[in-house]
Amino acid sequence: MENIEIPENQNIGKDQMLLAVVQGQDANTAIDALLESGFGVTRLPSVGGFLGRKSSTLLIGVNENMAEEAIKILDKTCRKRVAFIAVPMENSPLPMPSPTPITVGGASIFSLEVEHYEEF
């Protein structure tokens, strides 16, 4: 595991843990951008949601002063896109699915205040 030095300006204010659920195809881009900006990131694979697609949960430890910057990076790297699902047509004598567009992607971000943590 690689140690990343935290810049001096991040030591002011309260610590926060950002939990960001992103689509699997956006995860690598988001992680690379966060690491380039000096954020520490842990990736947890996850599955679920409306379509049951692969996703990743990113754990990002930040200072409250830097949380907005991390959220902006996620906004730039985790884009929404249109996907199609097959929905059965109503009143059809045969089960003919009709492709229906839905919006998927982006990031769902949760911010938690960290009261205490230990590192061994």
User: Can you tell me the distance from the alpha carbon of 28 to that of 92, in angstroms, rounded to the nearest whole number?
Assistant: 43
64 is written with which tokens?
């409250």
Question: What's this model's pTM, rounded to 2 decimal places?
Answer: 0.71
Where does the pLDDT of residue 95 fall: very low under 50, low under 70, confident under 90, or very high at 90 and above?
Answer: low
Taking residue 80's Cβ as centre, other Cβ atoms within 10 Å add up to 11
Question: Which DSSP state fits 96?
Answer: -
Domains of the chain and CATH, by start: 8-79+105-113 (3.30.70.120)
**pLDDT per residue over 12-34, tens digit each?**
457 899 999 998 888 999 999 99
